[in-house]
Structures are given as structure tokens and as C-alpha cells.
Amino acid sequence: MLKKFRNCTLILIFSLIAQIGYVNAGMTGSEEMKASKSDGSAEECFEGFSRAMFKFNHTLDGAIFEPVAKGYRSLPKGIRKGTSNVVGNLRSLLTLSNNVLQGDFREAGNTAGRFVINTTVGIFGIWDPASSLLGLEASGKEDFGQTMGVWGTRSGCYFVLPILGPTTTRDAIGLVGNVFLDPVYQITHT
């Protein structure tokens, strides 16, 4: 039981780290931004918390993520590209789920076709023959936060999460939804 809990915890931590965009997302001059704010932008509800999390993330970035990134950049370009392609290929399953939930069946078909071709001909997605040979270009990545937006959910408050960086209420809830929609997660946990 303890081993299963530990494995689930490690997978959760790896999943969170794998979804990190850029941790450095703070800004100065928020007074000017508030004055020029458009109607469609998110409200800053937890500014004190966000600033503390930005400082935490910035420190963590310098201590952990920057050295890891430097080590990763020392790998040969082919290995970096292949690794990126495999991760992108696996992530396309989450995009596929959200394409269907958004009712965008054309993009869902494109994503499914790319996944099948890149997984088989491209050997688990190491190469991208779907775009280079067949012209099936990669479209944008979709997640459950975007799906909730398509369904009419407002973005909510803007804040900064530890490790994951900047987000809105809708996208933070969407992270939870991603766990349930991600076919790779479902396959590895059933």
C-alpha cells in the first residue's frame, strides 16, 4: 500500500513538473497594468499570495530548474528533439480528449491522425512523419481549462501557484480535470 502511494505521489509530482511552462511569470508595474486593463482579463484577487509564490518559484527556478535545464541543454540536439516529440505525442491524447469535449471534431481527427502516424511510423513519436511526410500540421494544445472556457466558464481570479506558475481559477480547476481526461494517466492507473 505504501509503495503504491509512493508511486502515485511520484507520478503526480512528475506530471506537475512536466506541465510547467515557465516559472518566471511575475511583473512589476501592476499599477499601470490595472489602469490599462481590458474587460476580458482576469482580476488579481490574491496579489500578496501571488507575489510570495513568485519569489518562491524564482528561488526554486534558480536552485533546481535552471541547473536541470542547463544539463538538459548539454544533451545532443537529436536526443532533446526526440524527447520533446515523444512527450508532445503523448500529450496529444489530452488534446484529443479536449477537442472532442469542445465539439471541434475536425481538430480531433487531425490530432488522432497525427498520434496514430507518429506513434507507429514515427516510433512512439520520436519522429514527426505526420507533418513532414503527410502535411498534418500540429495544432494548438488543448486542456480542460480551455474546454471550460469554450463551455462559457469565466476565467476567474489570476494568481501564481507554487511550482506551476501563473494561472487563473478556471485553469487551476482545469488541472484537476486534466488528470481525469488524460488517457495516459487513466491507462497507467487502472
Each residue's pLDDT tens digit, 78-97:
999 999 999 889 989 999 99
CA angle 181, 184, 189 (to 5 degrees): 90
Q: Measuring CA to CA, which residue among 22, 29, 31, 32 is closest to residue 54?
A: 22
In whole numbers, what is the pLDDT of the chain averaged over residues? 81
Nearest residue to 15 via CA among 143, 129, 107: 143
Residue 111 burial (CB count, 10 A): 26
Residue 153, judged by CB atoms within 10 A of its CB (0-12, 13-18, 19+), counts as middle
Segment 134-185, tens digit of pLDDT: 888 888 889 999 999 999 999 999 999 999 899 999 999 999 888 888 777 7
Q: Are 182 and 93 in contact (CB under 8 A)?
A: yes
Note the pLDDT of residue 181. 80
